[in-house]
Amino acid sequence: MGEMSGSSTDVDFIQLLTPEGTLVSSDEYQNTCTDEQIAGFYRDMTLTRRIDTEATALQRQGELGLWASCLGQEAAQIGSGRALGGQDHVFPTYREHGVAWTLGIDPVDLLRLFRGVDLGGWDPDQTRFNLYTIVIGAQTLHATGYAMGLERDGLVGTGDPDRDAAVIGYLGDGATSQGDVSEAFVFAASYNAPVVFICQNNQWAISEPIERQSRIPLYRRSAGFGFPGVRVDGNDVLAMYAVTQQALERARSGSGPSFIEAYTYRMGAHTTSDDPTKYRLGDEVEHWRLKDPIARVKAYLVRNGAVTEDYFTEIDAEADDLAADLRKRCLELPEPRLVDAFDHVYAEQTPYLEEQKANYAAYLDTFTDDDQEDQLPVQGGVR
Amino acid sequence: MSRLTIAKALNAGLRRALEADPKVVLAGEDIGKLGGVFRVTEGLQKDFGEARVIDSPLAESGIVGTAVGMALRGYRPVCEMQFDGFTMPAFDQIVNQVAKMRNRSAGRLKMPVVIRIPYGGGIGAVEHHSESPEAYFCHTPGLKVVSPSNAHDAYWMIQQAVASDDPVIFFEPKRRYHERGEVDEHTEPQPLHTSSVVRPGSDVTVLAYGPMVKVCLDAATAAEDEGRSLEVIDLRTLSPLDMTMITESAQKTGRVIIVHEAAVSGGLGGEIAARIGEHCFYSLEAPVLRVGGFDIPYPASRLEEEYLPDLDRVLDGVDRSLAF
Ligand SMILES: Cc1ncc(C[n+]2csc(CCOP(=O)(O)OP(=O)(O)O)c2C)c(N)n1
């Protein structure tokens, strides 16, 4: 396989923190983070993992219809998310819970889609985090178009750090096969758009290994479209931070798009509806467990005496509180009403839809109160 | 005779199609080792190999576009779209290429491609996993569109679709995948593009297909308690429509209701209503009515039980029809 395979580990990647927790440096990239920042990454990743495991538990208890876990991908998400500047925008997939965390999205809002109370619970303009996209790859074109808009609006290459902006478009390894993604690459290159594509290569697209999508390492794809690509140890939060920061800076300054392949692994199932024992070997999971993104940061912090033991205890306590709060507020999410759904189809309501709504409301009125069934629990699940 | 779920019946039908003709190939995302996300292709790759049961890259336009090329080489591809909403990236290939190849070549080329689409709601899914896009395909000349509602039809119709030299869009009612029914593997099946009366009646004709057939049969049972006799027809074929059976029943009862999950505006119900109007105007006691999805995007899953036509909404349609 070697260089021929999209999953090849023979290819170097950028790494700044080893799985054992020691700092290393590369020619191009150095760690610039203070110990305080690194301790902050530890907190971000630990809390993200807690949100993720709590959501998985909520799904198992029937409170969510589905959950797409980001277990094992915390470094790729926190490292890149923390590199975002105050004017940058994000176009996520459906799995970027860690990135959402870095932008201050209330975690309970992430649950709304998965609980089925609405189709996306935050304001993308205010949070600079677009709504989750289920159709694979579609968001890479949106990210590119948004970046083209920033450029037109004179928000790129001004040299003013309070003005210049860029976009990150996230995607999975499977998504690289979609036509939309190739088209996004063409547009981004052709218009020199200020967009950074971050591909979390977690090795699997549901049951299909990366070899089914690519015979070359993914980071080399972008060269064919005319912009740089780099492979990063996706389980290394420091490397992800440094490389993303540089790519965003490049985009903001007007030097165009770039592609980052975060080489990582999906520790859990694809989603709560998936059963990876049908296609994946246990050994592989064990191999990756040793590269855990959180453990290595902890090892670094301990080894260098950057924080006291209390720091970890405090964060564990914070995670417990966060999980309890998340659970409580998930159960308290108000039930939606179908009559309200008629109001959000068009900016200008149509007469026929108004009529449908009125007829439906009248139909509902024909039922007496004790006819009304209790809300059914969320049932089943899907990918 | 066997008692099978719809998923297992499709699996058995596909197995027979693979055995019957070495040119049949299946392609789709996760259909190999995993057996598809609904397990419809379970075990087929193990038995027929990776060349005949192909795990495709994650690219729907690619899946259908390469099927076009394989069909031109004499293969009979059966493509799986993982969910209804993900058919859209392949829409261009389906409506611009698959549908038109025969016509473009003045009948010289054939397109024996089957596109399997699990469709409809009711499984508590997230966005794009519950849609009913059948009208888009019925609106496209050159495509044939069918949807079984039970295990026996699933078993036979998939084999008939694979054997057809025309492209067939094969809609599978995903929320019924696990419902069991008798499958008669030996008696000659009815032709693919025909409908069935699944419950005879005399007061009102109820036309349905796929996931809604069961709802309508339940409604007919409930209506009987109120002394009303509903005739339920399982359309089975959506394009071409079996107008012979539809008009016979409309003329007999004089009242017709069409039930589907898809939004009513521009939906298949409108086409059927127009055709009944053209053929049966003087036999009708009431306008042909539609019971369907509202004209809103498929809502969040907590609302789907309310969004989807249910027994009460069908009976309400019956009341409205009888009120004329
Ligand atoms: C266009 C489209 N086709 C199929 C699917 C069904 N599906 C959902 S996720 C997925 C695999 C995605 O893999 P990848 O892009 O690697 O992202 P990951 O989930 O591994 O992060 C598939 C096939 C979809 N959502 N959209």
- Give the C-alpha separation, B44 to B34, whole Å: 10
pLDDT at res. A121: 86
Over residues A123-135, mean pLDDT? 97
One domain for residues B32 and B109: yes
Express each pLDDT in A89-105 by its tens digit: 999 999 999 999 999 99
Domain membership of residue B19 (yes or no) is yes
Are residues B30 and B158 located together in one domain of the fold? yes
Which of B143, B162, B183 finishes a domain?
B183
DSSP B99: T
| CATH at residue B244 | 3.40.50.920
Domain check: are B127 and B204 in the same one?
A: no
Q: Which domain holds residue B157?
A: 2-183
Q: Is the CB of B86 under 6 A from ligand 1?
A: yes
pLDDT range class, residue A10, cuts 50, 70, 90? low
State which of B183, B206, B222 marks the end of a domain: B183
| pLDDT at residue number A280 | 93
How many CA atoms, within 13 angstroms, populate the side-chain half-sphere of residue B227? Answer: 1
Which of B257, B255, B198, B206 is closest to B230 using CA atoms?
Answer: B206
Please state the rounded mean pLDDT for residues A134-162.
Answer: 98
Chain A nearest-CA distance from B241, in A, is 28
Summarised one tens digit per residue, pLDDT across range A33-90 is 999 999 999 999 999 999 999 999 999 999 999 999 999 999 999 999 999 999 999 9
B191 part of a folded domain: no
Residue A2 pLDDT greater than 60, yes or no = no
Residue A4 has pLDDT above 70, yes or no: no
- For the segment B159-165, the average pLDDT, to the nearest whole number, is 98
Determine the longest span between alpha carbons in chain B, in angstroms.
59
User: Does the pLDDT at position A11 exceed 90?
Assistant: no
B203 and B171 in one domain? no
Q: Are A238 and A79 in contact (CB under 8 A)?
A: yes
Mutation pick for ligand 1 pocket among A178, A180, A206 (CB with most ligand atoms within 8 Å):
A206
pLDDT number for residue A12: 86
The answer to whether residue B75 scores a pLDDT higher than 50 is yes
B29 found inside a domain: yes
Residue A39: name the closest of A298, A378, A226, A262 by CA. Answer: A298
In a domain, B189, yes or no: no
Provide the b/e sequence for B80-104 (b: ≥16 CB within 10 Å). Answer: bbbbbbbbbbbbebbbebbbbbbee
The helix or strand, by DSSP H or E, that contains position A41, with its residue range, turns out to be: helix A35-60
Residues B111 and B168 in one domain: yes
pLDDT at res. A27: 84
pLDDT value, residue A332 = 98
Question: Could you tell me if A98 and A42 are in contact, meaning their C-beta atoms sit under 8 angstroms apart?
Answer: no
Confidence class for position B192, pLDDT limits 50, 70, 90: very high
> Does one domain contain both B144 and B60?
yes
Q: Are B219 and B166 contained in the same domain?
A: no
Q: In this structure, what token pair is assigned to residue A339?
A: 């009559």
B164 and B74 part of one domain? yes
A382 C-beta closer than 6 A to ligand 1:
no
Mean pLDDT, range B256-273, rounded to an integer: 98
Ligand 1 proximity of A79 Cβ (cutoff 6 Å): no
User: Are the beta carbons of A229 and A235 closer than 8 angstroms?
Assistant: no
Q: What is the pTM of this model?
A: 0.95
Reply yes or no on whether the pLDDT at A375 is more than 50. Answer: no
Q: Tell me the C-alpha to C-alpha distance, in Å, between residue B270 and each of B135, B292, B295, B314.
A: 10, 11, 13, 17
Q: Does residue A382 have a pLDDT over 90?
A: no
Q: Which of A10-24, B21-35, B310-324 has the lowest mean pLDDT?
A: A10-24
**Token pair recorded at residue A93:** 């997939």
On whether residue B188 sits in a domain, the answer given is: no
Q: Is B129 a catalytic residue?
A: yes
Do residues A303 and A243 make contact, with C-beta atoms less than 8 angstroms apart?
no
pLDDT grade for A7, boundaries at 50, 70 and 90: low
Kindly state the average pLDDT of the residues B92-112.
Answer: 98
**Which among B58, B303, B312 has CB closest to A175?**
B58
Tell which of B155, B183, B211 closes a domain: B183
More confident position, A373 or B192: B192
Do B107 and B46 have their domain in common? yes
- Provide the number of structural domains found in chain B: 2
A80 close to A167: Cβ distance less than 8 angstroms: no
Kindly calculate the radius of gyration of chain A based on its CA atoms and give it in whole angstroms: 22
Cα A41 to Cα A35: distance, rounded to the nearest angstrom:
10
Asked if B6 and B115 sit in the same domain, the reply is yes
Would you state the pLDDT for residue A26? 82
The mean predicted confidence, pLDDT, of chain B is 98
CATH number for the domain harbouring residue B87 = 3.40.50.970
Pick from A208, A213, A356 the residue to mutate for testing the B interface (most B CBs within 10 Å): A208
Mutate which of A132, A136, A279 for ligand 1? The one with the most ligand atoms within 8 Å of its CB, which is: A136
Decide: helix, strand or coil at residue A213.
coil
Of the pLDDT bands very low, low, confident and very high (cuts 50, 70, 90), residue A282 is confident
Quickly tell me which residue has 């808009």 as its tokens: A149
Task: Give the one of A205, A341, A376 whose C-beta lies nearest to B299's C-beta.
Answer: A341
Tell me: pLDDT of A370 over 80. Answer: no
Note whether B6 and B148 are same-domain residues: yes
Whether B227 and B179 share a structural domain: no
Phi/psi class of residue B72: alpha, beta or left (left: φ > 0; alpha: ψ in -120 to 50)?
A: alpha
Provide the residue type at B26 as one letter.
Answer: L
pLDDT value at residue A238: 98
CB contact under 8 A, B127 and A115: no
The reply to whether B190 falls in a domain is no
Among A112-126, A213-227, A362-376, name the one with the lowest average pLDDT: A362-376
Residue B26 lies in a domain: yes
Paired strand residues for B55 = B28
Whether residue A372 has pLDDT greater than 70? no
Query: Is B257 a domain residue?
Result: yes
